[in-house]
Amino acid sequence: MAKKGEMTQKDAAKALETVIESIKDVLAQGDKVQVIGFGSFEVRERKERTVASPGSKKKIVVPATKVPVFKAGKSLKDAVAPAKEEKKTAKKSK
């Protein structure tokens, strides 16, 4: 049982679901969502293009479409892969 002020796993799942639904709604309207310290979501248009089928090598026309795109923010990138300066400092100290 969660203590007062703490979230249960069920509460966290519901909160995350709410955030995801909100992001979907905003993207469906063609707007951009920016979560400071995490990243941004936006919709980009992909042009019609011609590709070759891997099996038959026939030309196929892929129609234009809209796709969701996520771009990681600086703090998320730094959390996953330290900045180049930090890597250099770590190498020098060895």
What CATH number is associated with residue 40?
4.10.520.10
Asked if the structure places residue 84 within a domain, the reply is yes
Query: 26: Cβ–Cβ under 8 A, 6 or more apart, which residues?
Result: 32, 33, 41
**How many domains is the chain built from?**
1
Share of the chain above pLDDT 70, in %: 83
Average pLDDT over residues 37-65: 94
Interval 53-84: pLDDT, tens: 888 989 999 999 999 999 999 999 999 997 67
Alpha-carbon distance 2 to 73, whole Å? 32
Look at residue 75 and tell me if it is in a domain. yes
Q: Domain range for residue 48? A: 32-92
pLDDT for position 43: 96
Indicate whether 42 belongs to any domain.
Answer: yes
58 within a domain of the structure (yes/no): yes
Does residue 48 form part of some domain?
Answer: yes
pLDDT band for position 6 (cuts 50, 70, 90): confident
